[in-house]
A and B are shown apart, each in its own frame.
Chain A
Amino acid sequence: MHTALQQSTSQKSDQFILPFSFIISSLIFLVIFSVGLASSPGVFSFDSLRSPAALAMAHLFILGWATMLAMGAVYQLIQVVSQRPVHSSKLGFIHFGLYISGVTGLYISLPDFIIPALIIFGLLTVAGVGCFLFNVLLTLKDSKLVNPVISATKSALLYLGLTVATGLVMVLNFRFGFLGTFHNGIFLLHLWAGLIGWFLFLIAGYSFKMLPMFFLAHGHDEKWQKWILIALHGAIWVSAAAGAAGMASTFLPLSLALLSLGLVMLLVQISEIRKNKFKKNPGRGIIFFITLLKGFTALSVVLFLLSIVNVEFLLQYSVLGPILMFYIFGFVSLSIAAYLSKIIPFLWWTFRYGGQVGQKETPSLAIMVDENVAERKLWLQLAALILFICSLWTGLQFLIIGTAILFAFTIVFYIFTIGKAFTY
Chain B
Amino acid sequence: MANITKEEIMEKLGTVIDPELGVDVVNLGLIYNVDVNDTEVAVRMTLTTPGCPLHDTMINGVKTAVEQHPLVSKCEVNLTWEPAWSPDMMSDKVRSMFA
Contacts and interface: CB of A to CB of B under 8 A. Distances in A.
Interface string A374-400: 000000000000000000000000000
Contact of A358 (B20, B51, B61, B85): B61
B48 A358 contact: no
A365 B49 CA distance: 18
Given A213-B48, A366-B22, A358 B53 contact: no
B4 interface: no
Contacts of A2: 59, 77-79
Interface in B56-94: 56-66, 68, 76-79, 84-87
Contact of A280 (B16, B56, B95, B99): B99
A81 B51 contact: yes
Given A213-B52, A280-B99, A364-B17, A358 B63 contact: yes
Nearest to B49: A213
B62 A12 contact: no
A353 interface: yes
Given A216-B87, A354-B57, A362 B19 contact: yes
Nearest to A82: B51
B52 A364 contact: no
Q: Which of A76, A80, A219, A355 has the largest count of B CB atoms less than 10 A from its CB?
A: A80
Given A80-B52, A346-B20, A366-B22, A358 B60 contact: yes
Contacts of B85: 218
B61 A7 contact: no
B40 to A, nearest CB: 14
A350 interface: yes
Contacts of A213: 20, 48-49, 52-53
B68 A359 contact: yes
Given A2-B77, A365-B19, A365-B20, A346 B53 contact: yes
Interface string A275-287: 0001110000000
Nearest to A210: B53
B76 A212 contact: no
A366 B19 CA distance: 8
A199 B20 CA distance: 26
B87 A357 contact: no
Contacts of B54: 350
Contacts of A279: 21, 98
B49 A357 contact: no
Contact of A353 (B19, B58, B87): B19
B87 A218 contact: yes
A22 to B, nearest CB: 17
Contacts of A355: 60
B62 A280 contact: no
B99 A80 contact: no
B15 interface: yes
Q: Which of B50, B57, B61 has the most CB of A within 10 A?
A: B57
Interface in A183-218: 209, 212-213, 216, 218
A5 B59 contact: yes
Shortest beta-carbon contacts, A-B, top 3: A357-B61, A358-B65, A358-B64
Interface of A: 1-2, 4-5, 7, 12, 76-77, 79-83, 209, 212-213, 216, 218-219, 278-280, 346, 349-350, 353-355, 357-359, 361-366
Given A219-B86, A278-B99, A354-B57, 20 more contacts: A2-B59, A2-B77, A2-B78, A4-B55, A5-B56, A212-B49, A213-B49, A216-B87, A280-B98, A346-B19, A346-B20, A357-B60, A358-B12, A358-B62, A358-B68, A359-B68, A361-B17, A362-B17, A364-B22, A366-B22
